[in-house]
């Protein structure tokens, strides 16, 4: 048995020379391939349109819901609590506009802190009144 102490244990070392060689080859490969990949822009001539502008704008009804869950229709405050009464108000606004056969667009502008049920009431009122076109009004992040 060999019980002699060794003078020191040699730590294994990572040889970096092959690693650097491989990285240089990859670098050369990337430089060569990127110089040949040039994209050319397509020359496209777009057609022109000679269509007439829409003669009549669709009737838009703006419904606002504030933070206290109060409704406004076209900036006029209405005191309604359920969807049926709100549907009656919507039909009266459409009838007052003079375009009874119009299919209005219902634009809902709800406050961020308004209750969800108030928005659902507006959607339900539009369904009851028979107005299927509903849009939501939003603002971009930068605006307040």
Domains, the chain: 60-136 (3.30.420.270)
CB 101 within 8 A of CB 131: no
Length of the chain: 144
For residue 72, the cross-strand partners are 64, 77
- Name the residue with tokens 């019980």: 3
First to last CA, the chain: 85
Share of the chain above pLDDT 90, in %: 18
Q: Which structure tokens are listed for 136? A: 């939501």
Would you place residue 30 in the very low, low, confident or very high pLDDT band (cuts 50, 70, 90)? confident
In this predicted structure, which of 55-64, 70-79, 87-96 has the lowest mean pLDDT? 55-64
């Amino acid at each position: 048995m060999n019980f002699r102490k060794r003078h020191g244990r040699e730590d294994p070392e990572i040889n970096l020379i092959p690693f650097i060689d491989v990285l240089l080859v990859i670098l050369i490969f990337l430089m060569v391939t990127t110089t040949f990949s040039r994209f050319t822009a397509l020359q496209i001539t777009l057609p022109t349109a000679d269509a007439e502008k829409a003669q009549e704008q669709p009737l838009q009804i703006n419904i606002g819901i504030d933070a206290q869950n109060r409704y406004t229709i076209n900036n006029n405050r209405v005191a309604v609590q359920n969807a049926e009464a709100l549907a009656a108000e919507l039909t009266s606004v459409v009838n007052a506009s003079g375009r009874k056969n119009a299919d209005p667009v219902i634009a809902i502008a709800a406050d961020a802190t308004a209750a969800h049920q108030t928005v659902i009431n507006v959607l339900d009122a539009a369904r009851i009144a028979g107005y299927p076109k509903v849009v939501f009004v939003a603002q971009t992040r930068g605006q307040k």
